[in-house]
Homo-oligomer: A and B are copies of this chain.
Amino acid sequence: VVQADDVVWPGVAAPAARRLLDVALESFATVGFHASTTRNIAARAGLSPAAVYTHFASKDELLQTISRIGHEAALASFEDALGAGTTPEQRIGNAVRAFTTWHAENQMLARVIQYELEALPGDGQREIRALRSVFETKLRAEIAAGVRSGDFVADDLEGVARAIFSVCVDVARWYSPRRAAVDVVANLHSDLAIRMIKAPSIP
């Protein structure tokens, strides 16, 4: 059973709209976008189906709003952590720690943004894919900087960056507080990411 998130919805002022996002998030995360209905989301938010449309034009727009806010929140935590380190190893270690933590602490939001991408309509999906490419570009650039400074070794930058993301993203699938404490997992993933790319030390 996935934990309920306590998501802040930046830029969404109306309490009814925030309630709709809470309910839609839970529904998309537990039964999936395609099995969620506007009628049901409205009822659980204490609104009539017609009242939904004063806030969101469609079920697609609910998913789009959740995806946009989710990606922006994940990206902010990733970038803040990168910036908090000085050496390549600190920067990547921090970013992996933050990204793992984000996926454990925002498990519903993480599942929806990672697993429901293909449910977004064409234009909306392009908007979100552009946000996603920012993560990949940043991580690749950080690894490349560490390769230039001699700290890291990586032949396939794209593949290695993807594998590091996989370790973090998959937390949304398996994590439960009964299995491990978030900080233990976050520190382990940080160490493992560095092991994937660290240059052998010269004796």
The 0/1 profile, CB within 8 Å of B marked 1, for residues 29-46 of chain A is 001111100000000000
Contact of A1 among B31, B118, B167, B200 (CB under 8 A): B118
Residues of A142-196 whose CB lies within 8 A of B: 156, 158-160, 162-163, 165-167, 169-171, 173-174, 180, 184-185, 188-189, 192, 195-196
Q: Please give the count of copies of this chain that the complex contains.
A: 2
Chief secondary structure at chain A's binding surface: helix
A203–B33 CA distance with the chains assembled, in angstroms: 55
A28 shortest CB reach to chain B, Å: 10
Interface check A115, CB cutoff 8 A: yes
Interface check A65, CB cutoff 8 A: no
Interface check A90, CB cutoff 8 A: no
A115–B29 CA distance with the chains assembled, in angstroms: 11
